Amino acid sequence: MSNVVPFGRRKLGGAGSEGKSQRRFELQLFIKHPSIDPAEITAAIGLEPKFQHRAGDPRTSPKGERLRSLYPNTSWRYSERHHVEKQWFASRVDDLIDRLLPHKALLLSLRESGGKTWIIVEFLGDGYFGDEIPLRTLAKLVELGLDFGIEVFAAPQN
């Protein structure tokens, strides 16, 4: 028996969910910096990263094997997965940005000291998404010095 559902959508489980499809996406705060310790970012922002590494640490492969080179910069990525029944995602972007507003000084200082910061929306291949990011949300991105990225997977991801 196949787990494939037409159009790449997954069925929701539980009572009262007959026929409803689930779409998943991840929202991420991604920071790259030439020198900061990722523990400082975690402590300052209060979010646990999905992954992190410090500039100068030995590199590892995705399977965890040690490589012969060092990471050239610090990378820190927070990620949260969302499940929705319809195509809308913009309100979740706005919610994450609102949680970051108290950390404006840190985010701006990271950019000013040679780093890069951005919000990424990652669509996981579960069907159609469509929404609009309101001007007020875009203005908050600018206020925080955050770039906006979109990643789309054509095939469903874990």
Tell me the per-residue pLDDT of 21-67, one tens digit each, with 9 for 90 and over: 688 999 999 999 999 999 999 999 999 999 999 999 999 988 889 99
Q: Are 121 and 114 in contact (CB under 8 A)?
A: no
Residue 47's nearest CA partner among 102, 121, 110, 116 is: 102
Task: Using alpha carbons only, give the angle 35, 39, 42 rounded to the nearest 5 degrees.
Answer: 115
pTM score of the predicted model: 0.81
The enclosing H or E element of 76 equals strand 74-84
Map out the domains of the chain as residue ranges. 30-60+67-152
Q: Are 140 and 97 in contact (CB under 8 A)?
A: yes
How confident is the prediction for the chain on average, in pLDDT? 86
